[in-house]
Structure 1
Amino acid sequence: MFSKLREHADFKAKLEALNRSLATIEFTPDGTILDANDNFLAAVGYTRAEIAGQHHRIFMEPTDAEEAAYTAFWADLRAGKFQAAEYRRLAKGGREIWIQATYNPILDGAGRTRKVVKFATDITAQKQRNADYEGQIGAINKAQAVIHFALDGTILDANQNFLDTVGYPVEAVRGQHHRMFVALEHAASWEYADFWQRLNRGEFQSGEYKRQAKGGREIWLQASYNPVFDASGRPFKVVKYATDITAEKLRTADVAGQIEAIGRSQAVIAFTVDGTILEANQNFLDAVGYALTEVQGRHHQMFVEPEHAASREYQAFWADLRRGEYRSGVYKRRGRNGREIWLQATYNPIFDMSGRPFKVVKYASDITANVQARLEATAATKQTLDNVQAVASAAEEMSASVREISGNMAQSKAAVDDIHQRTQAADQATTQLQEAAQAMDGVVQTITKVAEQINLLALNATIESARAGEAGKGFAVVAGEVKSLASQTTAATARISDQIVQMQRISGDVVGLLATISETVTTVQSYVTGVAGAIEQQSAVTQEISTSMQTAADGVASISRSLDRVAIGGI
């Protein structure tokens, strides 16, 4: 009897201990709530009076309570079948809670269920943590390549992202060792063995890793190797989270190669956005004649004239760079001991991940020799310009003189043409005069013949008057007068004939002279025409030379201005 009492007390103490540590609720076999302890009431947020006599379904979603599985759940409990699991339930106000619970049928002496006692633990916070962890792991699996290893490096599992990265199906990697992804010489190295020893000690590893995909294809992974610990704090596997950075690595290598190439061929210096010198390569240091330690930490203004460093223009230059504005040009700078140097340079703001400029990199080429040559060329060009302008001016004056000579020759040609025409007209008049003299000679010949006939008639009349005696004296006188007139006519006609002969002789001389003059005028006319044509051609050529020289002068002036602009110092 005493032992039964002790067992009963022991059993009661155990129930009280469970009641203190667990949430407890009792139901009839059909699910009607009989009672609940304070732990359970605190978990669901109800008072005892609010739930006593209610059915268990008040803790369920209405749709879940209507399902066949819920009906079967209570049927199994009535049949005395124990139930245990994690359950989603609704607290007061529809708040979701999760419980780890056991539903325990309490049997009577006949083996029938007389009530159901539920012991529960509120695991809502743990469930939410687990959901958070699972969500994060799910997100990681979506975004990253994940692979699981045993501590000896044997592959346990891999997600699809990892398999796509390495180009293998899961069957080809599961059970294989991690060394299938590394080069043979690296797998045999002390470094690789130490890597896995560290992981076995539970040491986290991360970095960029060169690996081999299917077919020996080179890939680069940004990865972390994460030892996973058991409840005793001992590592029991390793999970690797990785991102394929092969393309980025190639781009980085390409950019680095380009920057390295620029660094070999150009002078490079980096500044903070306020102009403080951060670093400079050897090309730049050689150009300015300083060592790195002499420029690092100093301001850019050490390379410019003091008056320029104090100018508003210089302040605006750095203000523009701080705003992220690119600048380029030809800049006059000072090297060691104030030595003048010229740089063809670009100032390039570098932006951070937020798009804000955080430093300025300057790429430059030393063009001092070129600029000095240009300055000399500018001086020579200005001298050439003066010479060309002088020649152009002389050519213009020569062109004006030629135009004047051309005009005079044109007037001379017109005068010679007029003389030629007048000579031809005089020649025609002389010809007409000669023809008239010839006609007058015919008339004189006719008069001479008439005078001879008259003379003959007078002689005959004298003879007849002599025969007539006294009767013929008067006729004789008339005959004498007629003879006298005939003699005078003959004498006059002889003189006229002599004058006509003389006129014909003079006319012939005039014709000969006019012919000679005409030939000479024609020769002179051909000469004048030729000279006028040559002068006209020379005038055109001289004008073309003058235009060309003026164009050359404009070109030389343009070159001079361009060289002046090239030689002008910048910021």
Structure 2
Amino acid sequence: MFGKLKEDRNLDAWRDEAFLTLEALNRSQVGISFTSDGHVIEANANFLSVFGYTRAEVVGKHHRTFVEPVYAGSQEYHDFWQKLKSGGAVSGRFKCRGKDDKVVWVRAAYDPVLDRSKRVMKVIAFAQNITANIEAEETQAREKAKADQELMQVTTALAAHLQRLAAGDLTSTMTEEVADGYKQLRDNYNRARETLRLSLLTVVNASEAIHLGSSEISSASDLMARRAEQQAASLEETAAALNQISTTLKRGSEGAQAVAVSMNAAKEEAVKSGQTVLNAVDAMAKIATSSKKIVQIVGVIDEIAFQTNLLALNAGVEAARAGDAGRGFAVVASEVRVLAQRCSAAAKEIKGLITASSGDVDAGVKLVGDAGTALTGIVTNITNLDQLMADIASSAREQATGLAEVNAAVNQMDQVTQQNASMIEETNAAASNLQKEVMAMDELVRRFELGRDRRSQAAVSSVQGFPAVRKAAKQKSCLGANVTTGTRLVATSDENWDEF
């Protein structure tokens, strides 16, 4: 910039502008000038204000007055002035010493002023006061160091406790004093460790309860398997018995059906016999009627014989009166009388026979009527018996059908029981696997040191809150005892199995 001004303007104008620029720098910057060997030529008001000196106290003083003694005697400080003497510029951040050893930090640029022969006439320095920034940085650094130290303390303690925790010791409580900012971390660690310890205590006791429960389940599964086998055998026997009963009922139904057919045939024969008896009764009735008519005819013949005998008697009387003239007529009349008497005797004999025959016919009619009545009753009874046998055959068929359905249901129950037995075996296997897994988990958990209250009542009480554990504990007495003997299995209450 200065070269450009020098080229574009005349020298006086350039000097004026350079002066104004230096004035501006003096107002805003800490400024000081030195001889080539480091003695103060001039210092501006900003420098005197910052370092706490008066002009008289700094003019002629060497530059080392404003730096720390250690640095002033160092090779670095020697090289610093050698570079300036050789015409080189130096810039950077410097720690300086003010009046009464006041520490002043500046960001400065040391620039040698060369003459026309390129020799160093003097050294000017302009700087910015960065003491407040450096102090803030140092304060921040101290705070960071303190925080790092506190963090190191916390991490060291926490690492030690975590190492014990990794080794399985869950009783290590972090009691070291830590900074306020890390007390929450310490408390959180202690709570997390205690929570983990109590959780593992619960897991340990729960694993024992699960182990006990799985043992009970395994024992109960064995018991159920044996009962299922017994039930399957009983159902198989029941199914066989039902098959036999179904066969017997079927045969009975067929026999009843055959009897019903025979009774129907007997009924038809009885009906036919009844009709025959009715025909016989009708015929006997006609015979009785004919006999009565014959008796009437015989009576008429007997009357005729009587009249003939009477006429023959009268004719004989008249022939006797006639004497010899009526002798022949008398003989005829006598013969007629004999014939009339014989005819009358025959008519009486026929009448007696017909009368006796009429009595026999009446008795036969009565007997045939009684036989017809009896056959009618027989037909009625056979009809009722046929209906009863039909009902018996129908009931036998229904019973056979019902038994067949019962047999099918029993067979299905047998299949379901066998499936249940298979599922119980699978349950038993699962319970055994569960026991193994629980034992493995218990071995893993027991690697941790959980303190003296490993079997504390509180932990056990918390575990007993699980329903499965309560059931296992409740079933310990009933199921465990029933596994030993077969006689006690029969006496086991169904309530235990329902609850199981």
The structure with more strand, counted as a fraction of residues = 1
TM-score normalised by the chain length of structure 2 = 0.43
- Whichever of the two has the greater Rg, that structure is 2
Greater relative contact order structure (CA < 8 Å, 6+ sep): 2
The structure with more helix, counted as a fraction of residues = 2
TM-score normalised by the chain length of structure 1 = 0.38
